[in-house]
Structure 1
Amino acid sequence: MSFPSLDTALPAGVDVREHARLLRRVHDAALSGRPAPAPPRPVVRDSWARVRRLGIDPDSGPPPRTARPEELHRDRTASPIAEVLPLIRRSLVPVAEQADHIMLVTDAAGQILWREGSYRVRSVGDRLGLIEGAYWNEASTGTNAIGTALAVGRPVQIYSAEHYVRNLHTLTCACAPVHDPRDGHLIGAVDVTGPVSTVHPSTLALVHTAARLAEAHLQSMHHTHLERLRSVAAPMLAGLNEPALVVDESGWTAAAVHMEPVRRVLLPRHRNGAGTTTWLPALGECSLEPLPGGWLVRPGPRGESTPVSVTLDLAAPEPTVAVAGHSGEWAYRPSPRHTELLLLLAVHRHGRTARQLSQDLFDSPEHVVTVRAELSRVRRRLGGIIESRPYRFDSEVRVRVHVPGGPEGLLPSSTAPAVRQLRQTDAERITGMTIGHP
């Protein structure tokens, strides 16, 4: 893996303690307006200028803003880096622990999403606000490797008094940004932080390599997902004699028929309903039909659209979900937990909050995090069909539930309180029913 020369904090052959003392004199001179014994590195000089304009106090920098637990969980779930977190852990955590460092992974705003490594340094981080949920961008904590790397978009090492705020002078940190390999936009960063006594110039190369590996793995995962989507859609595309595209949830094209493929379709943030039409740049009026992990896009004016239908078959030996639209049908087998969730959403067409579903599944409202995580996985498969806030089937979707004839046959292995309630009182009502609009 090749990468450009990295701007490390330590000049070759320097004595680290003597260099730290020099940096403190440079820092004091810069803040007092006196002549400095040496110029700061350009990346540090520029960062100090930015944070001065932001009004950061070098002697009593404010504690970093910290997200609430539910916000942290939401941002972790939404982060593309979550998909490659195991790879980053394998690359950095063992080295960080041996070197008395901690590994930090942030989002593009500098919020620390994950923190692992040396127990002793985590205790130091607790005192400094270097904790999960805290924002370490330059506007929050001044010059630091995380905030400065995100600001300049390249790997940065910050040592001792190169930190703008004095209570951070005991730290050395190296950080590399992570970019989405599909379009290059910033999605977060990986950082290794420890005491000044543990500084080493190779740390910057280590985090940069980990970031590049993460980007390469994200690229590979994207290609695999597009291949899977292409395979699922192939039977549908083979039966079409009109232009059509298959795209993933972000609009990246997996396949096209009877038209020149475009690299990416800019899907609207809020869909108009599964199976309905919307206007897309470069394509004009299009119909959108949900696929597992993506969309079938059919450009051109349409007559009355064919409603999308979902059939949850609980009478089969293994529960299945079948989705049918204008262009065909596809199916998959949900896990037992996902089957419970889909059944409850089918019964409650007006929707259920995460708290209500927690009560439905666990007889307690305290499992909201688990419910949201499971529904996030469901929506990856049925993203065009399951809405959120509250969680519900799209109002345009026709939902059918097929259950065995007797109440005792309704998900007999489920212990969820709401499913037990359905078995006891409502099984006959939902047996073979078709649930239309709320």
Structure 2
Amino acid sequence: MGRRDLEAALPAGADPRRYARVLAQVHEAALTGKTPPSRPRAIIGESWQRMRRLGMDPDSRAAAPVLNFEELEARRRTSGLLEALPTLRGGLISLAEQAAHIMVVVDAAGQVLWRDGSAAVRRRADGLGFVEGADWQETAVGTNAIGTALVARRPVQVYSAEHYVRAQHSWTCAAAPLHDPRDGRLLGVVDLSGPASTVHATTLALVDAVTQLAESQLRTTHLTELERLRGFAVPVLSKVGGRAVVADEHGWVAAAAGLAPVDRIALPTGLVPGGVWLPAYGSCAVEPVPGGWLIRLVDHESAPPTRAVLDVRSPREPELTVSSAAGTWTHRLSPRHAEMLYVLASHRDGRSASELSADLFGDASRTVTVRAEMSRLRRHFGGILGAKPYRFADDVEVLVRRPASPGAVLPHSLAPAIRG
């Protein structure tokens, strides 16, 4: 499992009660415009700024809207989190009960789908409206570990007066995002919450480790499914003839004929049977097969891409739309690919591997990572990207659609070129 940046709330060696008093002073100063005794952590300060822009009332005690039973069950079925639930429960519920916490699993939209753990803490959470079916996004209940992790796309712990709404100051929460390993899509967030007096610096590391274990098991399940598709794909391709691939619904290639082998192709959002234009292959014919798609390349010269639109208005689903005379293709981007394309769109003259490394990581030496990711991007997106230096092709019109607030551009990103 890869290392992830952890946003723990309690400094090493700090006394929780004394630190909570300092946080309360920082919170009060931030709301009244006074000089604070210290600055909030960057991730908290950014969230508080979002709350002020929204006009969030820090004294609000209004309960978040709650789904009815039928709506809750429907969200559970379609969340993509059901397969991960046994691992999450096995790793966290026992600890939650022993440590006076509750384990909470929310979907990508911030709806609380499951809540288990200490009965006493669940009753306390009931009074806060922190119940199954509640909306726990920042926009509904202010700065909190769940909602802030959904925005920042990284693990975060929120303690006491770091919560924007005062009614939550008696709580501590540690949350980690859980992604679908097949396409990088954010499935939701896993959280341990409890009374502020139970805060512990290691809680976040534990939540993150169990979440990554669940992602690993989802990845194993996907590899098993892909191997099953491969057994079907090989005989199909032998009968079809010509250049073709069989891929699952996320674009992972089970088998190919007449083409250079690749692990994955970037399929458009909402792919349907029939003709489709793909930046990497040109015009193709697509038909469904059990567990995926048969994609056959059409044998005529494909029109080159002429326009690329990078849409980063959504904090969770950045998209790239590529157009040519032959058609238009839209693909949801991973957070890292969205960052890279945004930087390249901001530097039409191009960036070297070391410059792009500094842009993304604040470290010009991470060129191996940059070159590997750019290689994937160029395979996926065909002729829109060039190399030496890395750039959008000169004959491709590039348009970036941004949110109204500069701070809302890819809010999960820590890249210096974006956070600036």
TM-score interval, normalised by the smaller of the two chains: 0.5 to 0.7
Give the 3-state SS of the residue equivalent to 1:176 in structure 2: strand
1:57–1:290 distance in 2 versus 1, CA, 3 Å: same
Q: CA deviation at 1:11?
A: 1.4
Alignment correspondent of 1:264: 265
On the 8 A contact 2:54/2:139 being kept in 1, the answer is: yes
Counterpart Cα distance in 1 of 2:191 and 2:73? 20
Give the 3-state SS of the residue equivalent to 1:269 in structure 2: coil
Alignment correspondent of 2:275: 278
1:54–1:232 distance in 2 versus 1, CA, 3 Å: same
Question: After the TM superposition, which residues 329-344 of structure 1 pair with which residues of structure 2 at under 5 Å, given as runs?
Answer: none
Counterpart Cα distance in 2 of 1:76 and 1:101? 22
Alignment correspondent of 2:243: 243
Q: TM-score, normalised by structure 2?
A: 0.66
Alignment correspondent of 2:107: 107
Q: CA deviation at 1:251?
A: 3.0
Question: After the TM superposition, which residues 8-27 of structure 1 pair with which residues of structure 2 at under 5 Å, given as runs?
Answer: 8-27=8-27
Counterpart Cα distance in 2 of 1:68 and 1:278? 41
1:49–1:61 distance in 2 versus 1, CA, 3 Å: farther
CA root-mean-square deviation: 2.2
Counterpart Cα distance in 2 of 1:265 and 1:60? 44
Counterpart Cα distance in 2 of 1:171 and 1:47? 17
Q: CA deviation at 1:44?
A: 1.4
Residue 297 of structure 1, aligned match among 285, 295, 298? 295
Q: CA deviation at 1:285?
A: 4.6
How big is each residue's C-alpha offset from its partner over 1:18-55, in whole Å with a ceiling of 9 and x where there is no partner?
22222222222221222222322222111111111111
Question: After the TM superposition, which residues 173-322 of structure 1 pair with which residues of structure 2 at under 5 Å, given as runs?
Answer: 173-261=173-261, 263-267=264-268, 269=270, 271-272=272-273, 277-282=274-279, 283-300=281-298
On the 8 A contact 2:110/2:137 being kept in 1, the answer is: yes
Gaps of 5+ in 2: 301-420
Q: CA deviation at 1:213?
A: 1.4
Give the 3-state SS of the residue equivalent to 2:164 in structure 1: coil
Counterpart Cα distance in 2 of 1:149 and 1:77? 22
Alignment correspondent of 2:378: none
Q: Pick which of 179-188 and 95-104 moved more.
A: 179-188
On the 8 A contact 1:66/1:133 being kept in 2, the answer is: yes
Alignment correspondent of 2:304: none
Q: CA deviation at 1:201?
A: 0.6
On the 8 A contact 1:23/1:161 being kept in 2, the answer is: yes
Percentage identity across aligned positions?
A: 52
Q: CA deviation at 1:88?
A: 1.2
On the 8 A contact 2:245/2:253 being kept in 1, the answer is: yes
How big is each residue's C-alpha offset from its partner over 1:195-246, in whole Å with a ceiling of 9 and x where there is no partner?
1111111001011112211222222222221111001222222333222211
Counterpart Cα distance in 2 of 1:83 and 1:232? 24
1:68–1:271 distance in 2 versus 1, CA, 3 Å: farther
How big is each residue's C-alpha offset from its partner over 1:281-301, in whole Å with a ceiling of 9 and x where there is no partner?
234554444332222222327
Give the 3-state SS of the residue equivalent to 1:239 in structure 2: helix
Pairing 1:78–2:75 present = no
1:264–1:32 distance in 2 versus 1, CA, 3 Å: same
Pairing 1:141–2:141 present = yes
Give the 3-state SS of the residue equivalent to 2:113 in structure 1: strand
1:268–1:192 distance in 2 versus 1, CA, 3 Å: closer
Q: CA deviation at 1:117?
A: 1.1
Counterpart Cα distance in 1 of 2:260 and 2:44? 48
On the 8 A contact 2:233/2:254 being kept in 1, the answer is: no
Counterpart Cα distance in 2 of 1:95 and 1:213? 16
On the 8 A contact 1:143/1:164 being kept in 2, the answer is: yes
On the 8 A contact 2:183/2:250 being kept in 1, the answer is: no
On the 8 A contact 2:182/2:250 being kept in 1, the answer is: no
1:123–1:252 distance in 2 versus 1, CA, 3 Å: same
**Structure with larger Rg:** 1
Give the 3-state SS of the residue equivalent to 1:64 in structure 2: coil
Counterpart Cα distance in 1 of 2:74 and 2:266? 26
How many positions carry a matched residue from both structures?
A: 298
Give the 3-state SS of the residue equivalent to 2:240 in structure 1: coil
Alignment correspondent of 1:40: 40
1:281–1:70 distance in 2 versus 1, CA, 3 Å: farther
Give the 3-state SS of the residue equivalent to 1:174 in structure 2: strand
Counterpart Cα distance in 1 of 2:175 and 2:294? 40
Counterpart Cα distance in 2 of 1:188 and 1:195? 23
Give the 3-state SS of the residue equivalent to 2:242 in structure 1: coil
Counterpart Cα distance in 1 of 2:163 and 2:269? 42
